Amino acid sequence: MTEKDFSHIDSEGSANMVDISSKEISKREAIASCEITLNDQTYKKVKANQMSKGNVINIAHLAGITASKKTHDLIPLCHQIPLNKVDLSFEFDDSNNQINIISYVSTDWKTGVEMEALVAVSVASLTIYDMCKSMDKSITINKIQLQKKTGGKSGTYIRE
């Protein structure tokens, strides 16, 4: 691969924010997910909303939305994007003591929202970790990944 293969590197090999001024505004959406696994006792307390720090899922939901809106502050070359919608869902998997987090982000803009969706699930899972770490140091966060994205020059991507 050459430097020309990477849009965030200029001709001298330096970091470069991509110029999107000539791109058309279009509808763009992204869905990302991750898994967070807790020990049995912690999982049951989170699911029953019995953690001493408060409603873990509610706070993780809010943290994910807030983080998604600040992606451009966290990832150096990301553009600030006007978001239409950010939402997260939390699915409990009792057989694995796992919470599956899914984010949905949409915009009508010149660049995609994959990073915003990935940041949302990442920070939501880290918030769960933070609120539960006093009870469970063995928490694992796995499979942070893009599930789907639509819009833009590259079109639709769906994870198989």
1 CB contacts (<8 Å, ≥6 apart)?
none
User: What's the pTM value of the predicted model, to 2 decimals?
Assistant: 0.91
Q: In this structure, what token pair is assigned to residue 39?
A: 């020990």
Residue 153: its pLDDT value, please? 86
The domain limits of the chain are: 24-151
Asked if 120 contacts 67 with a C-beta cutoff of 8 angstroms, the reply is yes
Residuewise pLDDT in 10s, the chain (160 residues): 444 565 666 677 778 788 888 898 999 999 999 999 999 999 999 999 999 999 999 999 999 999 999 999 999 989 999 999 999 999 999 999 999 999 999 999 999 999 999 999 999 999 999 999 999 999 999 999 999 999 988 899 999 9
Backbone angles phi, psi at 109, to 5 degrees: -155, -175
Pick the CATH number of 24-151 from 3.30.70.640, 3.40.50.300, 3.40.630.30, 3.40.50.10860: 3.30.70.640
Short-list 105, 92, 109, CA closest to 147: 105
Active-site residue 130, yes or no? yes
Asked if 70 contacts 33 with a C-beta cutoff of 8 angstroms, the reply is no
DSSP, collapsed to helix, strand or coil, labels residue 48 as coil
Residue 5: its pLDDT value, please? 60
Q: Please give the single-letter amino acid code of residue 132.
A: C
Which of 40, 87, 108, 130 does the annotation list as catalytic?
A: 130
Asked if 52 contacts 45 with a C-beta cutoff of 8 angstroms, the reply is no
Give me the residue label for tokens 């539960």.
132
